Amino acid sequence: MSTTPGADGQAVIPRQVVNRLRRVEGQVRGITRMVEQDAYCIDVLTQVSAASRALQGVALLLLDEHMHHCLADASRAGEAIQAAKIREASEAITRLVRSS
């Protein structure tokens, strides 16, 4: 993950990921409250879908970061490492696609 500092000195990508995950956490707490309050099922399902999309956004951000940094670094490290990192990224993409 990138450690490029932002204006406030914190790493940009990890901060973005943490912020997004906190929003998802809040969404999930909201869904829990909806279920506890016996909310209309379709409304709950709509919120579950939104939380799922938000998590997919986090996954895409992490994957993009991985490709820009880890795969780029691996391409300079040698053929065996490069092949392993590409295989690893490909497997991660497969998991993401299957979970959609």
| pLDDT tens-digit series, residues 9-35 | 456 688 999 999 999 999 999 999 999
pLDDT at residue number 76: 87
Q: Does residue 3 have a pLDDT over 70?
A: no
Mean pLDDT over 51-73 rounds to 90
Superfamily of domain 12-99: Metal-sensitive repressor, helix protomer (1.20.58.1000)
What percent helix, strand, coil does the chain show, rounded to 5?
85, 0, 15
pLDDT at residue number 18: 95
The CA R_g of the chain, rounded to the nearest whole Å, is 18
| pLDDT tens-digit series, residues 64-100 | 888 888 888 888 888 888 889 889 999 999 998 888 7
Backbone angles phi, psi at 12, to 5 degrees: -65, -55
Measured between alpha carbons, how far is 25 from 91 in angstroms, rounded to an integer?
26
